[in-house]
Amino acid sequence: METVGTPSTVWSQETAIKEKRDVWQALKRGFRGRCPRCGEGKLFRAFLKVDNNCSVCGLDFTPHRADDLPAYLVIVIVGHIVVPLALAIETNYSPPIMLQLAIYLPLTFVASLALLQPVKGAVVGVQWALRMHGFDEENPEP
Ligand SMILES: [Zn+2]
């Protein structure tokens, strides 16, 4: 049997096994603003601006497609904290409406700002762990 040229990929058991990606671990690392793969490098270069790649392991972050999902999730999370709190306080104590607004509005604002970056990091981490979009090196997006 004759071989023609040299193959670009040598198929072996090692190349067939995909890198294992733990979804929960990637979610937690992203939530802390760290690279989902190594957990060391920073994920963000600004408040909501995801860096191009990890400074430690070099993972390319550009395939992420978080889009509006972090904002929707933050609305759901903060809504499920503030609305029951407001209902419980109104039902049990009914304080003046101006006092309630002076508490709920800043609370909603601060909680939303505080959660936006961690939730976006978690979304990017999950996308990487599930090989969504361009995070699958065998099936990159065009
Ligand atoms: Zn990394």
**For the segment 58-82, what is each residue's pLDDT rounded down to a tens digit?**
999 999 999 999 999 999 999 999 9
Ligand 1 mean position, distance from CA 133 (Å): 18
pTM of the prediction? 0.83
Q: What is the pLDDT of residues 108-132, one digit of tens each?
A: 999 999 999 999 999 999 999 999 9
Is the CB of residue 128 less than 8 Å from the CB of residue 20?
Answer: no
- For the chain, give the mean pLDDT: 90
How many angstroms does the Cα of residue 53 sit away from the middle of ligand 1?
A: 8
Q: What is the pLDDT of residues 25-40, one digit of tens each?
A: 999 999 999 999 999 9
Ligand 1 mean position to 103 CA, how many Å?
Answer: 40
Report the phi/psi class of residue 6: left, alpha or beta, with left for phi > 0 and alpha for psi in -120 to 50: beta
Give the three-class secondary structure for 69: helix
Please give the pLDDT value at position 107.
95
CA of 77 to the centre of ligand 1 (A): 28
C-alpha of residue 34 to centroid of ligand 1, in Å: 8
Q: Enter the tokens of residue 75.
A: 């609305």
Tell me how far the alpha carbon of residue 59 lies from the centroid of ligand 1, in angstroms: 5
How large is the average pLDDT for residues 48-67?
95
CA 36 – ligand 1 centroid, Å: 7
Cα 68 to averaged position of ligand 1 atoms, centre (Å): 24
